[in-house]
Amino acid sequence: MPAGLNISVREMVGGRTMEWAARASHLGGLPRKMVITAVGSFAKAVANLLNTTTVHNGDTLLQLVRSRPAGVPLLTVSNHMSTLDDPVMWGFKGFPISDAKLARWVLAAEDICFKNTALSYFFRLGKCIPITRGGGIYQEHMNEALDRLSDGAWLHTFPEGKVCQEDAPIRRLKWGTASLIARAPVTPIVLPIVHHGFEKVMPENYACGRRPPVPLWNREIKIVVGEPMEFNLPELREMALSQSRDSSSSSGRWPRTILGGLDEAAQRCLYMTISDQIRTALENLRSFSRSYMKPKQ
């Protein structure tokens, strides 16, 4: 066992759970490469051997992952259908699985993925950032996610905040993703993705209200990649300031030292506007996927 694993799960480095294990330099990067390759191979098997996966516009995602401008971060957002969405949604044919540098960072629920020391170490090696649901958009690990965007990395989020297996419109989005877009030093390329089928591969209520012990097979997975979204943040900030002048939605707990000194009411307006735009893009993709990628008869 690598030195440093005999610590409490809650032990922090600079306020961040097991940040040392998430560093590319940890043990020369070998543990990260092993985990990324193993998990990627699992994703490939589930997506292509056990099930059938169809991807629309996958080349756009591949190009942005491999060759976007230097220093420009990529932020992918998607609906959340199962606990297998990530990593299996990256297991489609042609997607790289063994290059740890190209692998995404992802926000992961602390109460699911970081229950103990072993899980915490594993998911940290897999480039997961623990998020405390209900902990607010300015919790310390959101600052870590912001650091990764500042590095020009690729980050994936599920802005709905939890799994939803119903065939229903995209729910109201949490504001964490919007706050990352607004706070990033370089505005990230935001790419919406919608998928279907993972709810059949890993249903939440399979037997006695529990998930199956292993992924199910002979299902169809469909992934629809959208086009990059553009956000005119200076204009959106001005709109937020204007809309918030008559607002009383302030608790006094949000910092004014970010976003050029916007008060809490303006921050709320800004995050709501960005979230609404993302939700609209996801819902449009969902509608497109239902008409374009019809189930086989």
Q: Are 178 and 271 in contact (CB under 8 A)?
A: yes
Helical H runs in 94-212? 110-113, 117-125, 140-150, 176-183, 198-201
The whole-number pLDDT of residue 10 equals: 43
Burial category of 53 from C-beta neighbours within 10 Å (exposed 0-12, middle 13-18, buried 19 and up)? buried
Query: 127 in a domain, yes or no?
Result: yes
Entry pTM: 0.92
Distance CA 285, CA 223 (A): 10
Phi, psi of 190 (to 5 degrees): -105, 120
**Inside any domain, residue 169:** yes
What's the CATH code of the domain at 154? 3.40.1130.10
pLDDT of 12 reads: 43
Strands 12-13 and 16-17: antiparallel
Residues 6+ apart with CB under 8 A from 137: 174, 175, 176, 179, 271
**Within a domain: residue 12?**
no
CA 146 – CA 156 distance, rounded (Å):
12
Q: Is residue 270, in this structure, part of any structural domain at all? A: no
Domain with 75, as residue range(s), is 19-231
Residue 92 lies in a domain: yes
Q: Provide the number of structural domains found in the chain.
A: 1
Per-residue pLDDT of the chain (297 residues; tens, 9 = 90+): 444 443 334 444 447 999 999 999 999 999 999 999 999 999 999 999 999 999 999 999 999 999 999 999 999 999 999 999 999 999 999 999 999 999 999 999 999 999 999 999 999 999 999 999 889 999 999 999 999 999 999 999 999 999 999 989 999 999 999 999 999 999 999 999 999 999 999 999 998 889 999 999 999 999 999 999 999 999 999 999 998 876 666 666 788 777 877 999 999 999 999 999 999 999 999 999 887 666 555
**Res 15: pLDDT:** 78
Residue 2 within any structural domain of the chain: no
5 part of a folded domain: no
Task: Tell me the two tokens of residue 278.
Answer: 């993302």
Q: Give residue 293's pLDDT.
A: 62
Specify if 153 maps to a domain: yes
CB 226 within 8 A of CB 170: no
Q: How confident is the model at residue 255, as a pLDDT?
A: 80
Q: Are 175 and 271 in contact (CB under 8 A)?
A: yes
